[in-house]
A and B are shown apart, each in its own frame.
Chain A
Amino acid sequence: DTAVSQTPKYLVTQMGNDKSIKCEQNLGHDTMYWYKQDSKKFLKIMFSYNNKELIINETVPNRFSPKSPDKAHLNLHINSLELGDSAVYFCASKQTENTEAFFGQGTRLTVV
Chain B
Amino acid sequence: LAKTTQPISMDSYEGQEVNITCSHNNIATNDYITWYQQFPSQGPRFIIQGYKTKVTNEVASLFIPADRKSSTLSLPRVSLSDTAVYYCLVGDSNSGNTPLVFGKGTRLSVIA
Q: Which residue in A33, A49, A52, A98 is a CB contact (below 8 Å) of B100?
A: A33
Inter-chain contact B34/A99, CB cutoff 8 Å: yes
* B interface residues, tally (CB under 8 Å): 24
Closest A residue, CB atoms, query B94:
A97
Number of interface residues of A (CB under 8 A): 30
**A27 shortest CB reach to chain B, Å:** 13
Interface set, chain A 72-112, CB cutoff 8 A to B: 90, 92, 94, 96-106
Chain B residues packing against A (C-beta within 8 Å): 32, 34, 38, 41-46, 49, 85, 87, 93-102, 104-105
B43 close to A99 (CB less than 8 A): no
Give bound CA distance, A6 to B97, whole Å: 21
B-contacting 9-mer, from A13-21, A39-47, A62-70: A39-47
Q: A99: which of B41, B42, B49, B96 is its contact (CB, 8 Å)?
A: B49
Contact partner, B98, options A41, A48, A90, Cβ 8 Å: A48
Report yes or no: B42 in contact with A55, Cβ–Cβ below 8 A: no
Pair A49/B97 contact, Cβ less than 8 Å: yes
Interface residues of A (CB under 8 A from B): 4, 31, 33, 35, 41-45, 48-50, 52-53, 55, 57, 90, 92, 94, 96-106
Q: Across the interface, do B99 and A55 meet the contact criterion of CB distance under 8 Å?
A: yes
9 additional A-B pairs beyond A42-B102, A43-B87, A99-B46, beta carbons within 8 Å, are A45-B101, A48-B97, A48-B100, A96-B94, A96-B96, A99-B93, A101-B44, A103-B42, A103-B45
B100 shortest CB reach to chain A, Å: 6
| B43 A103 Cβ-Cβ under 8 A | yes
Cα–Cα distance between A64 and B87 once the two chains are bound (Å): 26
